[in-house]
Every structure is written in structure tokens, then in C-alpha cells.
Amino acid sequence: MMAVNSQLPVGRPREFDVDEAVRRAMQIFWNRGFHDASLPDLLAGMKLSKGSFYKAFGDKKSIFLRALELYTEDGVRNVSEVLQSDPSPKAAIRNALIRYADLSSGSKGVRGCFGVLTAAELLPADPDVADLIKRLFTRLQSLFAATVANGQAAGEIKNTSAPEVIAHFIVSHAQGMRVLGKVGSRRDEMLKHVDLLMEILF
């Protein structure tokens, strides 16, 4: 999405990709957290002047919420794609958990999940952030629940618990893996979690 202001006086054109600017801001907040990300950090990382920043986004909190919403959309889309990666619901869930194992190990694991880090920093005090984080996890649970339901209907998943309950357990465990990744967990350790989770649930 391109934000272009054609009404500015000649000699003062302002044109930049808003989505790309938000994505750059997301990286800064992800690395530093909301409180430690200063305005100079954001301006440098987003490659914007102070005037352009305030005109396009208003303030630091507004750009943070947009960055968190972008992260949510990315995360939900990625999980949705993985859950559609195999005609077998059970195999698709395993693929999704392996993806979490990859994200929870090595340098990606140490960096952590932007959503989890934000929740730890700003909740429960910030209701705007709380709403976005809740929606993120709710949407992830809905994706897993639908896949579980398909597996149960096909007779592939024998666990008769409500799909929503199973999905809540999966998402809770997956986010726990992201937390463990912060202390340098190895991929082989995370894959053992996947194997055990699949054995317990299915």
C-alpha cells in the first residue's frame, strides 16, 4: 500500500510505503520492546523524518499497535498455510508444530515471539494491546480447532475431546515452546516436544 501526498507544496514531496514502514517499526519494537524503543530509533529504522512520522502515524503507541496487528496477520496467515499443507489433518498439525519447533530454536528461538514478548511487557495494564494479543491467540486456536474437527470427522483423530479444548492445549504448548526458545533450546529438544504432544493428543 503506497501512501502518497500529492497536496504538499512543490519541492516537498512525501512518498513512502506505509506497510514497509510499519514492518520496519515492528522489527525495532521486537528487538527493543515498546518502552525501550525511542523515537530516534524508530525514525532511523523506518527511514522517516519526524514530521512524516507524526503525520502518517500520530505517535509511538499508534505505530506500535499497527506493528502488532501486522505481526498478528503474518502469524495467522503462516499457520493457516501450514495447516493446509497436507491433506491429512493430523500430519498438518504436526507440520505446524514442527514450524513452532523451528521458531523456538537457534537464533529465532532466542529472539522469541513478538506477541509473547509484548504480552510480558505490557499486559495486563494496556487494554489495546490485550485485545490484539487475545485476538491473535483466539484466531490461532480457531485454525487448529477446525483442523482437529476435520481429523475427527475423518476418523483420523481418535481423541473425542472438543476441538476447541484440543486447540487451546496445542496453542498453549506452542507458545510455551517459544518461551523456552529464549533460553537457547535446541531444535532436537523442541522436536521431542512435538513427538510427545502428538502422542498424548492423538
Name the pLDDT band for 16 (thresholds 50, 70, 90).
confident
pLDDT of residue 12: 46
Instruction: Please give the CATH number for the structural domain made up of 71-201.
Output: 1.10.357.10
Q: Which residue has the cell 474437527?
A: 149
DSSP for 136-166 reads: HHHHHHHHHHHHHHHHHHTTS----S-HHHH
8-state DSSP, 4: E
Domain spanning 1-58: CATH 1.10.1220: no
CB 134 within 8 A of CB 46: no
Residue-wise pLDDT for 82-126, tens only, equals 999 999 999 999 999 999 999 999 999 999 999 999 999 999 999
The amino acid at 165: V
Question: 9 preceded by cis ω (within 30°)?
Answer: no
Whole-model pTM over 0.75:
yes
Residue 77, classified by CB atoms within 10 Å of its CB into exposed (0-12), middle (13-18) or buried (19+), is exposed
CB 46 within 8 A of CB 60: no
Three-state DSSP state, 89: helix
Give the span between the Cα atoms of 71 and 103, in whole angstroms: 14
Three-state DSSP state, 14: strand
Domain ranges within the chain, ordered by starting residue:
1-58, 71-201
Residue-wise pLDDT for 23-81, tens only, equals 999 999 999 999 999 999 999 999 999 999 999 999 999 999 999 999 999 999 999 99
Cα separation values, 31 from 27, 58, 181, Å: 6, 22, 15
**Other CB atoms within 10 Å distance of the CB of residue 94:** 18
